[in-house]
Amino acid sequence: NSHEAEELVQDAFLKLWERWDRVAQVDDPVAYLLTTGMNLYRNRLRRASPKLFAHWRLGHGDGRASGAV
């Protein structure tokens, strides 16, 4: 969903901005931003569906729970 993706990107940039005093000192602020974005995505996925997240994390197929149709 593009709206949700935009929201995640905005949240990642906001976190970067709020922590800029520390982030400015790291070797690669872009990597920090990308890691923050991925962590936000994982957290949302985990909250939305714990079973789906578990399968995604383990790399099992399309993420559907066993026995799901």
Give me the half-sphere count of Cα atoms (radius 13 Å) on the Cβ side of residue 14. Answer: 7
pTM value is 0.66
Please give the torsion angle defined by the CA atoms of residues 37, 38, 39 and 40, in that order, rounded to the nearest 10 degrees.
50
45 pLDDT band (50/70/90 cuts)?
confident
Task: Look at the chain and count its residues.
Answer: 69
Higher pLDDT: 54 or 33? It is: 33
- Average pLDDT of 6-28? 95
